[in-house]
Structure 1
Amino acid sequence: MPPAPVSPTLARVMARVIHVFRRPDRFVAGTVGEPGDRAFYLQAIESSRTISVLLEKQQVTVLAERITALLGEVAKRFGEENLRESADAAASPRSDTDPLAVPLEEEFRVGTMGLGWDADSSSIVVELLAVTEEEIDESVVLDDTEEGPDALRVFLSPDEAKAFADRAEKVVSAGRAPCPLCAEPLDPEGHVCVRLNGYHDRNPVAETE
């Protein structure tokens, strides 16, 4: 007996979805929750489209660091002019300190991240792929192949990429304040400082006031 045909509706559900933002109005890192219990998101907005993806704090840090490194590499290989906006481009983006847009609807959790330089548009390309149980083939990253996890692909001018990295670093560092003795994050419930051999479970800041 021949296999039953797959309905068009089911085929659409199974198809890979790549959300592409070529000229985003906004692409930022942000958080939800209190310090010590924050969820980290990246959010892309273009016209009426908004896509938000969930990821780990460490992934935000790594992405910001690699964007900064890639900008430096582009400047080294192709010259500083490749990091400047063209004459007819919009003005450099202002520092974006606004919160994430709401309602916040998670599209997927990020597993693999990709980063590239698109010489045709002089853009940094950020790709975030949904986490999967299977190992991801590297050829899927920054590719339009029909097989693979869903993805968010964002094109950023060098100025926009730098602004994203700067905000991402501030978002990561805006969590719990560090202990002045051991530099570990302070918990609202108290802190066992390794510099005090763990004998004090009170916040060491309070002891200096």
Structure 2
Amino acid sequence: MPTRVHEFAWPDRVVIGTIGLPGARTFYLQVRAGAQIVSIALEKQQSALLAEKIDEILDQLITIDGNPFSIPTGTPVELVDNDPLEAPEEQFRTGAITLDWDPTTAQVVVEAYPLTDVDTDDDVEPLSEIVAEVPEMLLVRMPVGTARAFAKRTREIVDAGRPMCPLCGYPIDADGHTCTLPEV
């Protein structure tokens, strides 16, 4: 079965956003180019790690003599996107995500694959074979400024969740919190 690739080479918009209240939010990676829009669900931790790794790549590239890719140190003001998601229809729930750098176009490349069910038999296929059978994937190429803005917004979205209890370190729900202090 051929893989259906949702490819965005120069997206108009690429953001992480959420639907729902803190504690019950669904995270989406949403990409739009013209009339084409794709939304994939992912976990909060996947969102946070994606932002962290994008910033790490960009920060490493800044250290190259002369900054040949014009990597911004901060988020370009004109690329800040605080708008809500555009009515997300979940294309798939994300399992694996890969992150890469394309020096020929000076773009961060994100590939997202759906969550797959893997049997726990002795005949488990290697990951490369599982990925090859994935019916669809998302491929996004982000220019460096867009990638920096994406990472900043993602960190803000992730941090906008439930506050943490200063005593036990667990999230405090809107309807209250029973603190369970760790044993000493």
Q: Is the 8 A contact 1:28 1:43 kept in 2?
A: yes
Q: Give the structure 1 partner of residue 104 of structure 2.
A: 120
Cα pair distance change 1:67/1:84, threshold 3 Å: closer
Q: Which residue of 2 aligns with 1:137?
A: 128
Secondary structure of the 1:194 match is coil
Confirm or deny that 1:165 pairs with 2:151: yes
Aligned residues: 172
1:170–1:112 Cα change, 3 Å: same
Higher relative contact order structure (alpha carbons within 8 Å, sequence separation ≥ 6): 2
What per-residue deviation string (whole Å, max 9, x for no partner) do you get for residues 139-188 of structure 1? 96xxxxxx332211111111110100000011011111223444432112
Q: Which moved more, 1:184-193 or 1:24-33?
A: 184-193
Query: Root-mean-square deviation (CA), in Å?
Result: 2.4
Aligned residues of 1:93 and 1:163 also touching (Cα < 8 A)? no
Larger mean CA deviation between 161-170 and 148-157 belongs to: 148-157
- 1:21 aligned to 2:8? yes
Aligned residue among 11, 31, 36 for 1:44 = 31
Q: Give the whole-Å Cα distance in 2 for the aligned partners of 1:108 and 1:99.
A: 20
| Sequence identity (%) | 39
Q: Pick the structure with more strand per residue.
A: 2
For residues 23 and 95 of structure 1, the distance between their equivalents in structure 2, rounded to whole angstroms, comes to 16
Q: Distance in 2 between matches of 1:138 and 1:158?
A: 32
Distance in 1, Cα, partners of 2:46 & 2:5: 20
Runs of 4+ in structure 1 displaced over 6 angstroms? none
Q: TM-score, normalised by structure 2?
A: 0.84
CA distance in 1, matches of 2:58, 2:36: 27
Code of the residue aligned with 1:179 in structure 2: it is C
CA distance in 2: counterparts of 1:139 and 1:156, whole angstroms: 26
Distance across 2 between alignment mates of 1:130 and 1:114:
12
Residue 95 in structure 1 maps to residue 80 in structure 2: yes
SS at 1:65's partner residue? Answer: helix
Unaligned 5+ segments in structure 1 are: 1-13, 86-90, 141-146, 198-209
Alpha-carbon spacing, 1:119–1:47, altered in 2? closer, same or farther (3 Å): same
Do residues 65 (structure 1) and 89 (structure 2) align? no
For residues 104-149 of structure 1, give each alpha carbon's deviation from its aligned partner in whole angstroms, at most 9, with x where no partner exists.
2111111110111111101111111111124531996xxxxxx332
1-side partners of 2:8 and 2:47: how far apart? 19
